[in-house]
Amino acid sequence: MNERLWSILVESFPKLLGYGIRVTVPLTVFSFSIALAVALLVALIQYAKVRGLQQICRFYIWITRGTPLLVQLYIVFFGLPSLGIKLPAFTAAMLVLGFNEGAYMSETIRGALEGVSRGQIEAGYCVGLTFPKIMWHIALPQAFRTAFPALGNSMISMLKETSMAATISVMEMFRQAQVINGRVYESLGLYLEVALIYLLFCTFLTFLQRRGEKRLSGYGGKNS
């Protein structure tokens, strides 16, 4: 490797990492929080078969899963201003990522909820619990445990998808790599470098996921 490239990479590494920590990670955390909230709500509405709202949820999932993330980003950031809705790039990316992944996660959570035995729900009614309380104390904790590995996967793909925000001018890690490359023309080196940092982040998330799964295997894991 020549000296010029090496010094470029050494110099850009802390810069890229800095953008990763200050922008990519918060964007992932905020988007994931939105996605989780949306997914929980949508899953519960579907599980409880709330008339009217259920149809709206299905429509949302249909639209969101059936159109590309990139197109959704463009519609919200470049398209909505013509209706008078102007969102800052970071906000737009956060909302689109959140609602996009939320559609997938809602199906994960709904599936996990369906997996909680009907009998436990009936037993809940019989001991005098209301539907929300049965959800809170019995169904959701068990569903969360089932859904946890899949939700971890969602978070990992979301972290990588934040790079799409570069296309709507969010100055995140990948956009920063593009900017540096625009000055020095070292595409291979710089993009491999930024890939490595994504890999580091994802490895850390995988580690967290494993630890989480271990902690969640609390109740009667051995015999069940």
Closer CB to other proteins, residue 33 or residue 117? 117
Closer CB to other proteins, residue 109 or residue 197? 109
Establish if 125 lies at the interface with other proteins (CB under 8 A).
yes
Out of 30, 74, 91, 142, point to the residue binding other proteins (CB under 8 A): 142
Find the binding residues for other proteins in span 145-164 (CB under 8 A). Answer: 145
Establish if 220 lies at the interface with other proteins (CB under 8 A).
yes
Closer CB to other proteins, residue 5 or residue 129? 129
Out of 123, 192, 199, 200, point to the residue binding other proteins (CB under 8 A): 123
Establish if 48 lies at the interface with other proteins (CB under 8 A).
no
Establish if 137 lies at the interface with other proteins (CB under 8 A).
yes
Number of residues that bind other proteins (CB under 8 A): 24
Q: Which stretch binds other proteins (CB under 8 A): 46-54, 124-132, 161-169, 186-194?
A: 124-132
Closer CB to other proteins, residue 183 or residue 222? 222
Buried b (16+ CB within 10 A) or exposed e, 81-118: eeeeeebebbebbbbbbbbbbbbbbbbbbbebbeebee
- Minimum CB–partner distance for residue 185 and other proteins (Å): 57
Establish if 222 lies at the interface with other proteins (CB under 8 A).
yes
| Chain contacts with other proteins (rule: CB under 8 A) | 117, 119-120, 122-130, 133, 137-138, 141-142, 145, 219-224
